[in-house]
Amino acid sequence: MIGRLNHVGVATPSIDESVKLYRDLLGATRIGEKFALPEQGVWVCFVDLPNSQIELIEPHGDASPLLGFLAKNPKGGQHHVCFEVEDIIAARDAMRAKGATVLGTGEPRIGAHGTPVIFLHPKDMGGVLVELMETPKDAH
């Protein structure tokens, strides 16, 4: 069911400042351009690692779901983990059947990698916000 760890989501008040940490302190060399996902209220920037990615996310707009997180964690912090699944609809239905809470309407949205994603409520996941993402068809 659960597949590859696609990325770890890290919320930040400033992607530009966070990029400096990953590039200058940790030595990451493959860092993408920042881009907006207005429907999700975030700016996104991927830091590529040999085995996964860090997804830096910064609030975009006044209704960003990240604003509440940053109010509690002003410096930012680890926000979610994203696992790949083969079929997002099958995964959603299986999660619901097992009692997990799918956030929002439950209809998958297009995520930062251009494939459908859903989020599982942390209350059912030991406090961890989990993103499930359909594996890109041309990946791996």
Site stretch for Co ion (CB under 5 A), options 13-21, 27-35, 95-103, 125-133: 125-133
| Residues near 90 by beta carbon (within 8 Å), at least 6 away in sequence | none
CB atoms within 10 A of CB 96: 13
Phi, psi (degrees; rounded to nearest 5) at 94: -70, -40
Nearer to Co ion, 14 or 78 (CB): 78
Which residues 6+ apart lie within 8 Å of 41 measured at CB? 59, 60, 61, 63, 64, 65, 66
Q: Which helix (H) or strand (E) holds 68?
A: helix 66-72
Nearer residue to Co ion within complex by CB, 9 or 59: 9
Q: Find the shortest distance in angstroms from Cβ 112 to Co ion.
A: 6
Identify whether 131 is a catalytic site residue.
Answer: yes
Task: Determine, following the binding rule CB under 5 A, whether residue 131 of this chain makes contact with Co ion.
Answer: yes
9 in contact with Co ion (CB under 5 A): yes
> Residue 126 forms beta bridges with which residues?
none
CB of 23 to Co ion, least distance (A): 20
In this complex, which beta carbon is closest to Co ion, that of residue 52 or of residue 101?
Answer: 52
By annotation, the residues acting in catalysis are 131
Task: Give the footprint of Co ion on this chain (CB under 5 A).
Answer: 9, 55, 82, 131
